Amino acid sequence: MAYVINDSCISCGTCAGNCPVDAISQGDGQFVIDADKCISCGTCAGNCPVGAIAEG
Ligand code: SF4
Ligand code: SF4
């Protein structure tokens, strides 16, 4: 199950810089995770300052 970013995202970009498979990019209004690339490592969820990322 891929991780998902919710509406709490403040677009800081931290998650995108730490994803080992480059699955996170800036979308329309907030960052988004490409479910086809995500390997569910959990790194992004642990680094998000506002807790906007969880396993979907
Ligand atoms: S869980 Fe891991 S692989 Fe998936 S988006 Fe987050 S950092 Fe990238
Ligand atoms: S680390 Fe959290 S707040 Fe920052 S861009 Fe990623 S999801 Fe958004």
pLDDT at residue 30, as a whole number: 96
pTM here? 0.95
Question: Per CATH, the architecture of 3-55 is what?
Answer: 2-Layer Sandwich (3.30)
Domain borders along the chain are 3-55
* Closest C-alpha to ligand 2, atom 4: 12
H or E stretch at 53 = strand 53-55
In ligand 2, the atom with minimum distance to the C-alpha of 16 is: 6
Ligand 2 pocket, 23 CB below 6 A? no
Point out the ligand 2 atom lying closest to the alpha carbon of residue 30.
8
pLDDT per 10-residue tile (average), the chain, 56 residues: 96 98 96 98 98 96
